[in-house]
Structure 1
């Protein structure tokens, strides 16, 4: 599982090299996607690529990759099956360090794979619920761009770990936005709530799947602003991401959420989500 893609070549990971003058390395001048492949087939691949194209347009990086061919070939060269593909596109190598750039730069394109662990066959009882803190959202205002500039995310997640919990939730202008690498949901009186789509949150592909499953199974949901008090008084809190699925949060800032256990709406959503994922992992 060590074949990577770099600028037109498929090669062993330890042979892949990027210039020290690459703007992705110097400035974080790059965007990325993480795309699950189940039995060699990209999960909602078009939605992921549309989000990648949105990010590339927003930061004015050339978009000339044949993404489908690159990703399909990389997955095949790594044995197919269930893999998560990381794809990063930087503005490229200018041969010097300078904030300014011109449009002649050729992007650096890198992709690699990691196995997807099957956590869906073990049941809801196997999911370890999370504890979280809320911290000020110090990120820039274009969180809809999936940029590799993740230092604020790294710092708040480390803060959470230092405080003995597993996740950090961002708050901006007294409104909750999302987690360090996940989208946010809460349940109150049987209704599911999630922050509204905006430039200050990343439109998660898994977030959209959760809302589709809620709609399919008659779980009422609303996309609304959520404040701190609403978060703490929720009956249930969840986070979602493509790598973790849907995970309950049972404590925030030391305060127990609901009765301190994964709630009944999350239990239902886990079963719906798990059934969906199991079919994908079996190639059905």
Structure 2
């Protein structure tokens, strides 16, 4: 059965969905996106993703094309029409499609392009990778300076992912000025002597919605959190490490640049945080 997708107010079979060749998301990466996880047919952390979407749009001088309630209705309609149980909903909003290509922004009244589609991932919460952990490599962070805006400029993170796969790893952690910024599509953490260490919020990293929830749950569980940058060498000497994202939730990292972290197996802190996050997210899903 064909997926039903949403394009500019219409629900269509994916084969019938079309976007203009002049769309600035296609020509200029002039667009933002969000991915909301779906567990048991319900949306997790929707309000956080909606709030970040509004912020990203505002930072690029774009307006929110609909109310948050309308956006929620579209998400729920797509879940229903596609019988989605576990997976996610991808949302992209662009500055629109003027009549021709131009570096200058189009008139402010140019209609924005709004696209949403589902991705089915049965058993998303029971990923085998969470039981064995993932391996990462370090690469130079060559992205633009506003990583806090969730734009569709994902070429370099895609290249980083391919560098990792070519090296026999699962992902890459990007490094700038000797310190880890984040993964290709996730926030990065280490644990040392029971303390969770992760880079502080700034323009240097994406303000992860899962990151915010996990740190909140960690503090509620009386875990110590220190928000600061760390080096690859610190990571290699850590007791454990992990990443967070909307689709990976909390994922243990067991190796970086060929060096085992801790005993080379998922650590106690990461495993417990994954349990807490999934439990609380499923409970609060809408």
1:278 to partner: Cα distance: 5.3
Q: Which residue of 1 aligns with 2:122?
A: 117
Pair 1:218-2:222 in alignment: yes
Distance 1:277 1:120, change over 3 A: farther
Q: Which residue of 2 aligns with 1:93?
A: 97
Q: Which residue of 2 aligns with 1:162?
A: 166
Question: CA separation in 2, counterparts of 1:162 and 1:17?
Answer: 34
Q: Which residue of 1 aligns with 2:29?
A: 28
Question: CA separation in 2, counterparts of 1:258 and 1:265?
Answer: 12
Secondary structure of 1:127 counterpart = helix
Q: Identify which range, 232-241 or 268-277, moves more after superposition.
A: 268-277
Q: CA-to-partner distance for each residue in 1:123-158, whole Å, 9 max, x for gaps?
A: x89623111111111111111110001011011111
Distance 1:222 1:131, change over 3 A: same
Question: CA separation in 1, counterparts of 2:279 and 2:82?
Answer: 26
Q: Which residue of 2 aligns with 1:141?
A: 145
Question: CA separation in 2, counterparts of 1:144 and 1:251?
Answer: 27
Q: Which residue of 2 aligns with 1:56?
A: 57
User: What is the 5 A alignment of 1:224-243?
Assistant: 224-243=228-247
Contact 1:121 1:274 in 2 (8 A): no
Question: CA separation in 2, counterparts of 1:234 and 1:81?
Answer: 37
Distance 1:17 1:85, change over 3 A: same
Question: CA separation in 1, counterparts of 2:97 and 2:181?
Answer: 34
Q: TM-score, normalised by structure 1?
A: 0.92
1:121 to partner: Cα distance: 5.3
1:94 to partner: Cα distance: 1.0
Secondary structure of 2:33 counterpart = strand
Q: Identify which range, 72-81 or 213-222, moves more after superposition.
A: 72-81
Q: CA-to-partner distance for each residue in 1:99-123, whole Å, 9 max, x for gaps?
A: 112323211000001124324458x
Q: Identify which range, 248-257 or 266-275, moves more after superposition.
A: 266-275
Secondary structure of 1:105 counterpart = coil
How many residues are matched?
A: 281
1:191 to partner: Cα distance: 0.8
Q: Which residue of 1 aligns with 2:186?
A: 182
Q: CA-to-partner distance for each residue in 1:22-71, whole Å, 9 max, x for gaps?
A: 11111111100001234444322111111000111111123222322322
User: What is the 5 A alignment of 1:59-74?
Assistant: 59-65=60-66, 66-74=70-78
Equivalent position to 2:270, from 249, 266, 272: 266
Distance 1:139 1:270, change over 3 A: same
Pair 1:7-2:11 in alignment: no
Question: CA separation in 2, counterparts of 1:226 and 1:148?
Answer: 27
Contact 2:44 2:281 in 1 (8 A): no
